[in-house]
Amino acid sequence: MEEPRHRVRALHTEDTITVYQAYPPEIAGPAVRTGRFPAAWKRDRMTWVKPSFLWMMYRCGWGSKAGQETVLAVEISRDGFAWALRNACLSHYVQGLHTDQDDWKRQLRQAPTRVQWDPERDLRLAPLPYRSLQLGLSGEAAARYADEWIVGIKDVTPLAQQVHTLVRSGELARATELLPTERPYPLSEDVLAPLRA
């Protein structure tokens, strides 16, 4: 079955959805130990979360980029994720979706969450013809994420390294077996429609 251009695919349960981020060890280590981000985590900066494991691998170079050496799987409540989407604005202007550029800019300034759709990635991190969601959380959204939505934080850097090793040796079937099971995430049309790029 052909993938729609815009769909959220994620590891999820009845109550939670897993998103990925990558941090230096001084932030990631305490976060994994305590299940909360430490004081060094900047609440006043926009933080981007990604439900796609492979898109995170593309972004952090399988955990090889400076400042992104530790890949975290952050399990958050579905209620929190829904709040983030309901309070989001697209990160770029779309004619027909926004009244005009000024209307979009006003929405962007006011929204605590930004949505960006980037090409999903395959195991070799090449772009696919459909899109993967990124959520930028700032202000109230970042505070809710850090203080209310997090259910658990795991260090999945060893998994990233294991998958990468298999990909480099051409063992794509074995690499695929290790990937998190990302299924279509149920979203109503009224939530998704204003966020399609």
Residue 65 has pLDDT above 90, yes or no: yes
Backbone φ and ψ for 99, nearest 5 degrees, come out as: -60, -50
- Does pTM surpass 0.75? yes
**How sure is the predictor about 52, in pLDDT bands with cuts at 50, 70 and 90?**
very high
What pLDDT, in 10s, does the model give residues 97-152? 778 888 888 888 899 999 999 999 999 999 999 999 999 999 999 999 999 999 99
Hunting for tokens 């994620």 — which residue is that? 10
**How sure is the predictor about 197, in pLDDT bands with cuts at 50, 70 and 90?**
low
CA distances from 63 to 6, 48, 156, 173 (A): 26, 16, 10, 21
State how far the Cα of 162 lies from the Cα of 187, in Å rounded to an integer: 32
Residue 156: the pLDDT is 98
Residue 16: the pLDDT is 98
Residue 96: the pLDDT is 78
Residue 1 has pLDDT above 70, yes or no: no
Residue 85: the pLDDT is 96
Residue 158 has pLDDT above 90, yes or no: yes
Q: Which residue has the higher pLDDT, 91 or 159?
A: 159
Q: For the residues of the chain, what is the DSSP string, one character each?
A: -PPPSB--EE-B-SSEEEEEEEE-HHHHHHHHHHSS--TTS-TTS-EEEBS-HHHHHHHHTTTTSTT--EEEEEEEEHHHHHHHHHTEEESS--BTTBSSHHHHHHHHHH-SEEEEEEEEE-TT--EEEEEEEEEEE-THHHHHIIIIIEEEEEE-HHHHHHHHHHHHTT-HHHHHHHS---EEPP--HHHHGGG--
Q: What is the mean pLDDT of residues 56-66?
A: 97
The β-bridge partners of 75 are 18, 152
